[in-house]
Amino acid sequence: MKISGAQAVVEALRKEKVKVIFGIPGGVIIPLFDVLYDVKDIDVIITRHEQGAIHAADGYARSSGKPGVCLVTSGPGATNIVTGLATAYMDSVPIVALTGQVPTSLIGNDAFQEADTTGITRPITKHNFIVKDPDELVTVMKKAFYIATTGRPGPVLIDLPKDILTAEIEFNYPETIKIPGYNITTKGNPRQIKKVVEAIKKAKRPLVYAGGGVISSNASEELKQFIKKTGMPITLTLMGLGAYPGTEPEFIGMLGMHGTKTANYAVDKCDLLIAIGARFDDRVTGKLSMFAPHARFIHIDIDPASISKNVTIDIPVVGDAKEILKEINRHIDKLDIEDWIKQIEAWKKEHPLTYENDDILRPQYIIERLYELTKGDAIITTEVGQNQMWAAQFYKYTRPRQFITSGGLGTMGFGLPAAIGAQIANPDSLVVDIAGDGSIQMNIQELATIAQEDLPIKVLILNNGYLGMVRQWQEFFYNKRYSGVDLRKRSGGNQKEDKYNYIPDFVKLAEAYNAVGMRIDKKADVDGAIQEALKTKKAVIMDFIINPEENVTPMVPAGAPLHKMISSKEDAENYLLA
């Protein structure tokens, strides 16, 4: 029996065990929404902006390990997910994006709400398709999920012309599929693994540098076994936080631009750097020519294109991190690196992450209290900027898929819709979006989605009245010329003294979206506010009025080597003079 293309899409989603779709309807995609009207086993979450839909699908994927699915219409619907596709592409997140398209007979005629979606999105998707033959639809659906979830994961887009959705087709869904030229290596080369083991045994100052690839491959247990067997110190990237418990003694913090001094000093002095599921991006390496200058490099990654892309690798191993670590763990034992561990411990004592402990309401304190009061058990999403870095530094992540943030693209407005996806994927978990007052407003309309779906998400806004990270750079490197970053009212009241001279009033905004709003401006009120929010079954917005000129430190200036960290404007001036 033949079915419509729209019915075939839904049946394919069922075959792929999809339980939820995020999206917004529109003209050419109505046939698919019409079929979904009668579907009971797939939830359709209607967001208020297409960017919200794809970020929600992204948060769902990152927190669950399953592919996220979004569904939008043609033209502006499709172009509105471009930022979300780029976000997922940079961070290797499996998403299948379904976009409507004008009928095939009108493609290229500048029809109403037509856009060259596949042309626009080709550079920011792992692969994309436009279906022009109804008989290819089912196979394309299978290919899309296979490509998105295998190898190095990533977003795949399927452009669906309206006449393809209404055409009658046979539904024969393939159980497996093979794509010519798309070959994935999972098992590491035995000779290369042997070289890795030999190099580790000879090293005197080894260091493990692990990233989001460990989480993608579900290799956290194998990584933990690797670290515990050898006794090596480990640093994690922003995307890798949670891959190894942040409470374990071997963990020395995040590395890179806003990493710990211990991690960055260890990178600078190590003699063997073992990169696992990480890609040596510029925020990690700083000045490339001075990155880990005394080290040999081992790189374990499923993507051969990532190896020796930025740093020349001495011992590459292409394959799945989980499989490769299993093999390595069979051949290693405790290392004799006592002097190196003593040096690491000395750096930890000399250079802990710290902040001024006074009566001023500081963001670091707020996040530390959130960690204690949630017992480290919350799923944390973030916006982008200072709030993101403080969340990375001062909340300890103990498991994979607990920390969800936009790393590679640095997308402001990511955290709130990502929290929606994470909450729907984990209905029994506490989900907290740590936000800045600037970034939260870029997709704040998704508070309506939260209200409609009755999601108990907690939003913790670190409100400094600025686009804080840009302001920090302007303080350090542009003589405090705060151009384009002040978000407060231009007139009426003293901006430095009037704490409520901010736009918008987040407490009133929360009430408008059927959430609970709180404003906190005293350090003594932090615990009570967080405890009250955690007890509340509704969504809560906590507006913390923090020190306007608080900075994220340490900081490695752009293009500087990792050991040249600064902690103040004076440090920045000295660095620039040097």
The pTM (predicted TM-score) of the whole model is 0.96
Based on the domain organization, do 376 and 265 belong to the same domain? no
Picking from 321, 350, 379, the residue at the C-terminal end of a domain is 350
Based on the domain organization, do 32 and 115 belong to the same domain? yes
Tell me if 136 sits within 8 A of 145, measured CB to CB.
no
Based on the domain organization, do 473 and 541 belong to the same domain? yes
Number of structural domains in the chain? 3
Handedness of CA 318, 324, 327, 330 (dihedral sign): positive
Based on the domain organization, do 161 and 70 belong to the same domain? yes
Based on the domain organization, do 196 and 323 belong to the same domain? yes
Based on the domain organization, do 329 and 228 belong to the same domain? yes
Q: Which residues are within 8 A (CB) of 196 and not within 5 positions of it... i.e. 6 or more apart?
A: 274, 298, 300, 315, 317, 328
Among residues 216, 90, 94, 91, the alpha carbon closest in space to that of 144 is found at: 94
Picking from 140, 170, 200, the residue at the C-terminal end of a domain is 170
Based on the domain organization, do 159 and 246 belong to the same domain? no
Q: Is residue 178 part of a domain?
A: no
Determine the Cα–Cα distance for residues 474 and 182; give it in Å rounded to an integer.
46
Q: Is residue 181 part of a domain?
A: no
Based on the domain organization, do 62 and 122 belong to the same domain? yes
Tell me if 29 sits within 8 A of 100, measured CB to CB.
yes
Tell me if 461 sits within 8 A of 541, measured CB to CB.
yes
Based on the domain organization, do 194 and 282 belong to the same domain? yes
* Full pLDDT tens readout for the chain, 578 residues: 899 999 999 999 999 999 999 999 999 999 999 999 999 999 999 999 999 999 999 999 999 999 999 999 999 999 999 999 999 999 999 999 999 999 999 999 999 999 999 999 999 999 999 999 999 999 999 999 999 999 999 999 999 999 999 999 999 999 999 999 999 999 999 999 999 999 999 999 999 999 999 999 999 999 999 999 999 999 999 999 999 999 999 999 999 999 999 999 999 999 999 999 999 999 999 999 999 999 999 999 999 999 999 999 999 999 999 999 999 999 999 999 999 999 999 999 999 999 999 999 999 999 999 999 999 999 999 999 999 999 999 999 999 999 999 999 999 999 999 999 999 999 999 999 999 999 999 999 999 999 999 999 999 999 999 999 999 999 999 999 999 999 988 765 454 555 568 899 999 999 999 999 999 999 999 999 999 999 999 999 999 999 999 999 999 998 899 999 998 888 888 888 77
Catalytic residues: 50, 112-113, 162, 469
- At 290, which CATH number? 3.40.50.1220
Based on the domain organization, do 112 and 201 belong to the same domain? no
Q: Indicate the angle between helix axes 50-64 and 415-425, nearest 10 degrees.
A: 50
Which pair of tokens denotes residue 145? 């999920």
Determine the Cα–Cα distance for residues 417 and 404; give it in Å rounded to an integer.
11
The single-letter code of the amino acid at 112 is: F
Q: Is residue 574 part of a domain?
A: no
Query: 276: helix, coil or strand?
Result: strand
- At 147, which CATH number? 3.40.50.970
What domain range is 52 assigned to? 2-170
Based on the domain organization, do 146 and 243 belong to the same domain? no
Task: Indicate the DSSP class of residue 466.
Answer: B
Tell me if 279 sits within 8 A of 289, measured CB to CB.
no
Determine the Cα–Cα distance for residues 212 and 275; give it in Å rounded to an integer.
11
Any alpha helices (H) in 426-566, and if so which ranges? 447-453, 468-477, 506-512, 526-535
Q: Is residue 55 part of a domain?
A: yes
Q: Is residue 576 part of a domain?
A: no
Phi and psi, residue 111, nearest 5°: -65, 165
Task: Indicate the DSSP class of residue 19.
Answer: -
Based on the domain organization, do 470 and 499 belong to the same domain? yes
Tell me if 287 sits within 8 A of 561, measured CB to CB.
yes
Determine the Cα–Cα distance for residues 72 and 77; give it in Å rounded to an integer.
5
Q: Is residue 324 part of a domain?
A: yes
Determine the Cα–Cα distance for residues 301 and 538; give it in Å rounded to an integer.
42
